[in-house]
């Protein structure tokens, strides 16, 4: 789309369906007067990985039901459940089995099975930019990750560890946080 709202040129480059079902973010909207003197509303969208962007009619967009609130409610519902190495739920979990289960149930996002693979798969976030719903990783370094939890704000996380699923502080002597990543941008 180019030109002012009263003299806009629109060129079709493709359909959103060809990109599968990624998360799209609307960054601006525009109303355009068409040649037949009707108006149409358009939204500028970008894919979560910023590889695809462009204008689409607003009628082809629906608001996501994925939210941090949904994720947090699913995560909290498992507080107190037992830790079992290799378990992926719904009643027992290991750390990455827990994050995989919560993201699948609450955000329809299929995380890799182990913590190291979860860290490798998604965009890295600095500690200062961490948002609720990001994953926080622990280990001796980013090449040797041994634990993962879900950041819930205020320096806390919910995770599955030896004492079961707990809400606990991230920065304590027995954990060494080495990185954050963002599988879903709940803040957008």
Residues with a catalytic annotation lie at 95, 147, 159
The rounded distance, in Å, linking the Cα atoms of 25 and 50 is: 9
3-class SS letters over the chain: CECCCCCCECCCCCCHHHHCCCCEEEEEEEEEECCCCCEEEEEEEEECCCCCEEEEEHHHCCCCCCCHHHHHHHHHHCCCCEECCCCECCCEECHHHHHHHHHHHHHCCCCCCCHHHHHHHCEEECHHHCCCCCEEEEECCCCCEEEEEEEEECCEEEEEECCEEEEEECCCCCCCEEEEEECCCCCC
- Pick the closest to residue 146 from 108, 81, 95 (CA basis): 95
């Amino acid at each position: 789309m180019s030109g002012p709202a009263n003299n806009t040129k629109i060129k079709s480059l493709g359909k959103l369906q060809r990109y599968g079902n990624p998360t799209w973010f609307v960054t601006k909207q525009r109303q355009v007067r068409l040649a037949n003197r009707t108006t149409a509303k358009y939204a500028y969208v970008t894919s979560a990985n910023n590889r695809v962007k462009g204008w689409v009619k607003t009628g082809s967009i629906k608001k996501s039901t994925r939210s941090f609130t949904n994720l947090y409610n699913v995560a909290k519902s498992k507080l107190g459940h037992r830790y079992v190495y290799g378990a992926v739920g719904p009643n027992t979990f290991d750390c990455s089995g827990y994050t995989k289960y919560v993201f699948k149930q609450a955000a329809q996002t299929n995380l890799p099975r182990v913590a190291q693979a979860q860290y490798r798969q998604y965009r890295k976030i600095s500690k200062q930019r961490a948002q609720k719903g990001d994953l926080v990783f622990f280990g001796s370094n980013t090449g040797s990750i041994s634990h993962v939890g879900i950041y819930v704000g205020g320096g806390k996380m919910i995770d599955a560890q030896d004492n079961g699923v707990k809400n606990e502080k991230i920065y304590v002597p027995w954990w060494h946080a080495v990185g954050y990543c963002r599988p879903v941008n709940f803040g957008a």
